[in-house]
Structure 1
C-alpha cells in the first residue's frame, strides 16, 4: 500500500442500517468531488453490515480509520472494539452513536474500551440532506485529525526505535513569572480523546485535593451528564454536571453541561476557611448560551478567560487532548495574568491540536505525558501553598517589635 501522503485515506464503515450505509457512500463521493475542500482525500473502501463482517473487512481492507456503529447484530460495536484492541490496537475508531441517554452511556463505554472519538447519528436519517450535512461537519474533520495523529505517532515510534529509545518530548518553556503564586482554582479544557483522558487523570486526584476543578469537555447534552456520573463513580472527589449559581469550592469537580458555556463568576465574599488558614475566595458557576465560540458550546476559552479575570496569578489552566484551537486565547489570558498553563504532550494525546497550539505558542510552563499530570498538579499546588504560608510567617515575624539590650536593660 502507498504511503498515506500519496493516496486517499481509506475509510471502513460498519452499520446495520442500509440508510446509514447509503448516507456514508454518498458522503465520501461528495467529498471526493469537492475540490475546494481543504481536508485530505478520502475514500470509502468498504462497508460492513455487522460486527463479524467488520472484523473480517478490517483484516482484508486495511483501513486507516473505522467508523463503527454501536448497535449491530452478531457482534455489537463494544464487542468489536474489544477484539480490535487485541488484533489491531493502532486502528483509530470513531463510534457512530444515537443521541439518546442509552446511546450516551454506551458511547462512553466505547471510549473507555479504546475508541478514539464519536459522532452522533442524525436524528432523522430519512432527511437525507440534513443527515449529509450533520455527518460532513462532524465526521470528516475527525477522520482527518485521527489519521494524521496516527501517522505522527507511527513516525515518532520509528524515531524512538532508531535512536535506541533515547527520545524525550519537550518539557515546554520556562515557568511563568508568578511561578510560585498560590493556586486557588484548576480549569481544564479537552475535546477529542477527552473522556478517556479524564478517566485516567481524575481518579489520581486525592479526596483532600485543596482547590476546586472546573472542566469543559466538548460534548452534547445527555453525554456530559452521563460522563459526570461515570467519573463520579471512579473518583475520590465528587464529579458533578455544573448548574447555574453552584458554589465553587474544593472537593467538587464541575463539568460544563452540553450546549452551555460555563464561566466563573463572583460569589458573596470570602468563603469559610477550609485549608489550614488560607482563605479561599468566593466564586460561583455561571452558565449561558451565547453563540458558539471556536465553533464550540461549551467553549474552553470562556472558562479560561473567566479564570484569568477572577483569579489572575492564582489560576492554573490545563489544556488536554483535542482537535482545533479552543482554549488557546484563554490560556494566553491566564499566562498574561501570571497564572500557570500546562499542556498534555503529543504522545499521550489522541489528537494534539488544542495542547499543541498552546505548546507552540510558548505559553505552557510544561508539556507533560498524561500519566504525569496529576502529580504535577499536586506538586505545583502544594508548592504555592507552602510559599504563601512561609511568606505569611515572615510577615508576621517582621511585625513583632524588636527588643534591644541597653546597659543590661530591655
Structure 2
C-alpha cells in the first residue's frame, strides 16, 4: 500500500520540525515538504501534489483560509487544520471547516513542542482519517479524537435504559451525532429546517473552545436558533443545542419537558462529547418520543447508542454512504441493526420532519 504523502504548512519552525518528525515516525505516512507559508507550498505542490495538507490558519503573505479556498476550488485535497486554542483561532478554524477542511488539531501558544509530542496519536489519526475522506463531499459548504489506551463505553457515564416504555408526551426530540465532515453536513441540514422544527440535541466531535464558534456560525445562517449547550438549557421547538467540546451532554426530563445536562467524565469511544452518551440518555429519557440521526464520521461512536434508541421505540435514520465524507459511524450503526432508514444528506431535513410527523400516526 502506498504511503500517505503529507505537506506541512506552518510559519512556526518548531511546529514544522515537530510535526514532520511525528508524522515520519508513523507507519504509512511520508512528509513531502514542510514550508513556512502557502506561497512556498504552491511551489512545492507544482512538483508533487500531496494526499493530505496539514495547514496553519494564521500565516504571513497568505492566510490559511485563502489558501484552503484556492485548493478546494482548483484541486480538492483533504486538509487538516492546525489551530491555536484561542477564541480568535476557533472562529477562524470554523471558517476553515466551512470552506472544506476535514479535521482540527489544536495547539497552545505555550509549551508547543511538548503538547505536539503528547498529541502525536491525534495528529496521526487525523491525517489517516483525512486521507480516506470523500473529497467530493468537502466542496465547499471536520476533528480527530484522542486515542486513550482504554476504549470506554457509555456505561462510565450512565447505565443503559431499562425496557419500560416511556410515557408519550407532545414534546419530540431529535438527537444527531456526527464527526468527520459533520460541520458542513450539519450546516446543510440545519439551514434547510424551517423555524417551526422540533427541539434538536447534537454531538459533533470537536475540540474544546471550537463548539461555541461553530454554534454561533450556524445560528447566523439558520432559521432555527443554535447555541452551545449549558446545563439546564431547555430543549425547545425551533432550537438546536450543540454539546460543548470537552464535555458530555445528556438529555434529561422533568415531567413533559426536556432539558440537557453538561458534565465532565472520561472519554467514551475515545470522544468527549460522545454520541453514545447522548443517544443513551435520549433512549432513557425520551424513548419513543425521539428520532435519532447518525451522520458522517470515522469510527463507531453512536452505533450502540442508536441501537438502544431503536429498542426504546425511537425512530432511527442514517446518512447514506454516497453523501458521507467518511462512512464510518453510519456504516457501523447499519451493521448493528440500529438504523431503520438510510437517506442522502440532501434529504435529511425532509426525513426529519416526515419521521416526526409519523409520531402522530402511532
Q: State the TM-score bracket (shorter-chain normalisation).
A: 0.7 to 0.9
Where 2:317 maps in the other structure, the secondary structure is strand
Cα shift at 1:67: 0.7
Aligned counterpart in structure 2 of residue 203 of structure 1, from 191, 194, 215: 191
- The answer as to 2:302 corresponding to 1:332 is no
Distance 1:131 1:290 in 2: 23
Where 1:232 maps in the other structure, the secondary structure is helix
- The 3 A distance-change label for structure 1 pair 359 and 305 is same
- The 3 A distance-change label for structure 1 pair 298 and 17 is same
CA contact 2:319–2:345 (8 Å) conserved in 1: yes
Aligned counterpart in structure 2 of residue 30 of structure 1, from 25, 32, 40: 25
Query: 5+ unaligned residues in a row in structure 2: which ranges?
Result: 138-164
CA contact 2:307–2:337 (8 Å) conserved in 1: no
Name the residue aligned to 1:226: 213
Name the residue aligned to 2:9: 14
Name the residue aligned to 2:175: 187
- The 3 A distance-change label for structure 1 pair 302 and 85 is same
Where 2:293 maps in the other structure, the secondary structure is strand
Name the residue aligned to 1:254: 241
CA contact 1:146–1:350 (8 Å) conserved in 2: no
Where 1:11 maps in the other structure, the secondary structure is strand
Name the residue aligned to 1:83: 70
Name the residue aligned to 2:159: none
Name the residue aligned to 1:287: 262
TM score, norm. by length of structure 2: 0.87
Where 1:347 maps in the other structure, the secondary structure is helix
Query: 5+ unaligned residues in a row in structure 1: which ranges?
Result: 33-40, 154-177, 270-280, 389-410
Cα shift at 1:197: 1.1
Where 2:180 maps in the other structure, the secondary structure is coil
Distance 1:243 1:231 in 2: 17
Distance 1:60 1:100 in 2: 35
The aligned runs of 1:2-401 (5 Å cut-off) are 5=1, 7-32=2-27, 41-89=28-76, 91-126=77-112, 128-134=113-119, 136-150=120-134, 184-209=172-197, 211-267=198-254, 269=255, 281-385=256-360, 387=361
Distance 1:233 1:314 in 2: 29
CA contact 2:171–2:257 (8 Å) conserved in 1: no
Name the residue aligned to 1:38: none
User: In the TM superposition, what whole-angstrom CA distance separates every residue of 1:21-54 from its partner, at most 9, and x where no partner exists?
Assistant: 110221123224xxxxxxxx11101112111111
Distance 1:259 1:98 in 2: 16
**Could you say what the CA RMSD is over the residues aligned between the two structures, in angstroms?**
2.0
CA contact 2:107–2:115 (8 Å) conserved in 1: no
The structure with the largest alpha-carbon Rg is 1
Distance 1:323 1:76 in 2: 28
Distance 1:145 1:242 in 2: 28
- The 3 A distance-change label for structure 1 pair 186 and 13 is same
Distance 2:262 2:73 in 1: 42
Distance 2:133 2:88 in 1: 30
CA contact 1:183–1:384 (8 Å) conserved in 2: no
